[in-house]
Amino acid sequence: MSSETLAVGQPAPQFRVAAYGNPSVVSLDALRGKIVVLYFYPKDDTPGCTTEGREFTALYPEFQAAGAEILGVSRDTVASHEKFACKFDFPFPLLADTDETLCKAFDVLQEKNLYGKVGIGVERSTFIVDREGKIAYIERKVKAAGHAAAMLRIVKQLP
């Protein structure tokens, strides 16, 4: 699926990606019937990404009670995800999109300029996929603090 078709109401791009957590490989098909909160973040164990992950962790029981699963995604390796998840006790899988397939499918790679150095990085973004596998919500340019609570409010409104 090309990124031009990513819009609310459209089927979410299918994926099967290695992860740290249970299960060790995550596919969207296997989560059919659940709401999926797929949040893309730039890098393990950095301040904003830690804030975001810890806030999702704090609210994880409420997400589960609402029938939702949380998946964090970055271009880091499974080993890096393991260190990050263990350090902060993240209860949800972290997907290792090392080949950028998922990042490209969801069109989250953007040109970034950091201290005069231009490169391609992950734009902090969240996609909520409904129980039928369709995109229910998209947010780009996410601010980490308070984001998890905002996503929980949206999840609770979904059928």
Model confidence pTM above 0.85: yes
Residue 84 lies in a domain: yes
Q: What pLDDT score was predicted for residue 94? A: 97
Give the DSSP per-residue string, 30-67.
GGTTSEEEEEE-S-TTSHHHHHHHHHHHHHHHHHHHTT
Residue 125 lies in a domain: yes
Residue 42 lies in a domain: yes
Which member of 26, 36, 49, 128 is catalytic? 49
Q: What pLDDT score was predicted for residue 118? A: 86
Q: What pLDDT score was predicted for residue 1? A: 38
Strand segments, DSSP code E, in the chain are: 16-20, 25-27, 35-40, 68-74, 94-96, 109-114, 117-122, 125-129, 135-139
Query: Would strands 109-114 and 35-40 be described as parallel, antiparallel, or unpaired?
Result: unpaired
Residue 26 lies in a domain: yes
The tens digit of pLDDT for each residue in 61-118 reads: 999 999 999 999 999 999 999 999 999 999 999 999 999 999 999 999 998 887 888 8
Residue 126 lies in a domain: yes
49 is catalytic: yes
| Of residues 6, 17, 8, 44, the one with CA closest to residue 102 | 17
For the chain, what is the domain count?
1
Residue 1 lies in a domain: no
Residue 2 lies in a domain: no
CATH code at 116?
3.40.30.10
Judge contact between 75 and 84, C-beta under 8 A. Answer: no
Radius of gyration of the CA atoms of the chain, in A? 14
Q: What pLDDT score was predicted for residue 3? A: 45
Question: 58 is in which domain, residue-wise?
Answer: 8-157
Residue 58 predicted with pLDDT over 50: yes
Collect all residues with Cβ–Cβ distance below 8 Å to 128 and sequence separation of at least 6.
Answer: 35, 36, 37, 38, 135, 136, 137, 138, 151, 154, 155, 158
Please state, in angstroms and as integers, the Cα–Cα distance from residue 109 to each residue in 47, 124, 150, 153, following that order.
20, 9, 23, 27
Q: What pLDDT score was predicted for residue 13? A: 96
